[in-house]
Amino acid sequence: MIRCIAIDDEPLAVKKIAGYIQKVPFLELVAECRSAAEAMAIMDSTDIQLLFIDINMPDINGMEFVKSLANKPYIVFTTAYSEYAVEGFQVDAVDYLLKPITFNNFLKAANKVNNLMELRANNQKESIKATTSHLFVKSDYKLIRIELADIKYIESQHEYIKIHLVNSNPVTTQLSLKSIEEQLPSNQFMRVHRSFIVNLAKVTVIERNRIVFDGNIYLPVSEQYKEIFQEYIDRNFL
């Protein structure tokens, strides 16, 4: 399922897009938002993969909001104005739907996203080879071996991830957090935020629902993952 947010300041328009999302089996509607600020609050705690977003909105318009995102999900613009189309594709939007939007055109855009996600997932499987003790990732045209025991945490950076290591410089590779998560042993690594996976063996300090590394690096535990992380803590609490 592709987790989606519909964003539009017009109540009827956002309801229409939300209704379309609910008709597509591989889409999951996480929220209907009337502003970019409302969407950002949800994205801070939930892993959102796709935005259906209007452009002309008060305060922050849809185009500026998308440009501001460090870790962009897939984007489909929904707007009544064709003049933004070129700019929309310059920010790597998958599609640009002009209102009034038919379900047929909406479905074509959704299928584009689904196909891109499947293609990316297949490509990334070829870019990472993992065993129970180590993994190989492609970085700077090289294959680099990383011992799982040396990983502290993994950070998502848009289309890349940064693997933070003990006593070594981080390794950056073009993978999604989800693709590497699928390769890691679940009893050793846990997703705690849409942007972070931690090596549970390296978690030594937890402060106010944040994991502390090296005394000054704070990784938030988001609402989406708080329950499963708390279960781990409870199992290991003396």
SS3 content of the chain, % helix, strand, coil (to 5): 35, 35, 30
| pTM for the model | 0.66
pLDDT tens sequence across 107-161: 999 999 999 988 877 766 655 666 778 998 888 878 899 999 999 999 998 778 9
Residues 68-105: tens digit of each pLDDT: 987 789 999 999 888 877 777 788 899 999 999 999 99
Are 44 and 222 in contact by the 8 Å Cβ rule? The answer is yes
Average pLDDT over residues 10-31: 96
Per residue in 4-17, pLDDT (tens digit) is: 999 999 999 999 99
| CA separation for the pair 103, 167 (Å, rounded) | 53
Beta partners for residue 219, in sequence order: 211
pLDDT of residue 91: 84
| Fold classified for 2-124 | Rossmann fold (3.40.50)
194 vs 120, more confident? 194
The pLDDT of residue 71 is 78
Q: How far apart are CA 100 and CA 71, in angstroms?
A: 29
Dihedral-angle region of residue 167 (phi above 0 means left; psi in -120 to 50 means alpha; beta otherwise): left
What's the pLDDT score for residue 72? 85
219 vs 207: CA distance, rounded Å: 10
Same topology between domain 2-124 and domain 130-236: no
The pLDDT assigned to 201 comes to: 93
Topology of domain 130-236, CATH: OB fold (Dihydrolipoamide Acetyltransferase, E2P) (2.40.50)
The whole-number pLDDT of residue 128 equals: 67
For 208-222, write each residue's pLDDT tens digit.
Answer: 889 999 889 999 999
> Peptide bond preceding 100: is omega within 30 degrees of 0, i.e. cis?
yes
Q: Where are the domains of the chain?
A: 2-124, 130-236
